Amino acid sequence: MKCIICQKEEAIIHPQYGILPGLNCSKGKATNPGKIIKLYEFTPESVKQSRKEYAKDILQASRDGIVSKERLDAWGERGLKLTKEQRENAQYVWSGEGVAGMPYKQGNPKII
């Protein structure tokens, strides 16, 4: 069986993990490293609609130390202890506006 990434070398067949990329591909030496393996999510339409319907219920209060204006708009300051400075500097950090032009993976690793 051929490697699932490069389709050139032999894939590794592991008894526990199944079919894995070839040895060179698994070391990051694939001939086509830009090729992306697509992951599929098999989710019913009802679950997708529920995610949209209840999206504001799971809004986090902050991102990378910046208070979320989306959460303040949806729920106010209930359950939060904010300073005057934090209220004034609140930004839309989850919707792609303001600071959120950065993808989630570019967060600050020092802040948990």
**pLDDT (0 to 100) of residue 15:** 86
Name the residue among 47, 54, 63 with its Cα closest to residue 96: 63
Contact 23, 14 (CB under 8 A): no
Alpha carbons 67 and 34: distance in angstroms, whole number: 36
Tens of pLDDT, residues 82-98: 999 999 999 888 776 54
Tens of pLDDT, residues 6-65: 888 888 888 888 888 888 875 555 445 455 556 677 889 999 899 889 888 888 888 888
Running DSSP on this structure, what letter comes out for residue 51?
A: H
Q: Which residue ranges make up each domain of the chain?
A: 59-106
> Could you tell me the pTM of the whole model?
0.46
Alpha-carbon distances of 98 from 12, 66, 68, 74, 103, rounded to whole Å: 45, 11, 10, 17, 12
Distance between terminal CA atoms of the chain?
42
